[in-house]
Homo-oligomer: A and B are copies of this chain.
Amino acid sequence: MQLTVTSREKTQLLDITAQIQEHIRMQGIASGICHVFVPHTTAAVTINENADPAVPADMLRVLNKIIPWDMDYRHLEGNSAAHMKSTLVGASLTIAIDNDRLVLGTWQGIFFCEFDGPRTRQVLIRCIRDE
């Protein structure tokens, strides 16, 4: 399954938990592993708190502080910082499925991470059944 995500900021975290959960319910996947993958090199996917919007906002601010936008980078597109963030946060994630639901903690949500937006992006979802 392919999910389309549209970012509106240069760096932005977008909660995609509900769309992934809905896909699993529609496909009737009772038990297994859900693989979430970002096919882009300046974006990523992560799990973190989706209750207080200050959490993703703080994460972007500290990440933008740690990884300098400007350094003596050689890559001419000027987005080397975005490539670094993509590798540190990661492009792939696996989550268990039980009773047609993602097995996530109370405060956990799945975030698409835009590091070089705004852009229209894809997220690939692939589930392996173990029934």
* Cα-based distance from A38 to B38 in the complex (angstroms): 21
Whole-angstrom distance between the Cβ of A47 and the nearest chain B Cβ:
5
A26 beta carbon closer than 8 Å to chain B: no
Copies, count: 3
The one of B59, B72, B103 that contacts A124, using a Cβ cutoff of 8 Å: B103
* Prevailing SS type, chain A contact patch: mixed
List the interface of chain A (C-beta within 8 A of B).
32-33, 35, 37-41, 46-49, 52, 54-55, 57-59, 61-63, 65-68, 71-77, 80-81, 83-84, 86-96, 103-108, 122, 124, 126, 128-130
Do B104 and A39 touch across chains, with their CB atoms under 8 A apart? yes
The one of B57, B76, B122 that contacts A74, using a Cβ cutoff of 8 Å: B57
Whole-angstrom distance between the Cβ of A17 and the nearest chain B Cβ:
13
The one of B55, B89, B93 that contacts A83, using a Cβ cutoff of 8 Å: B55
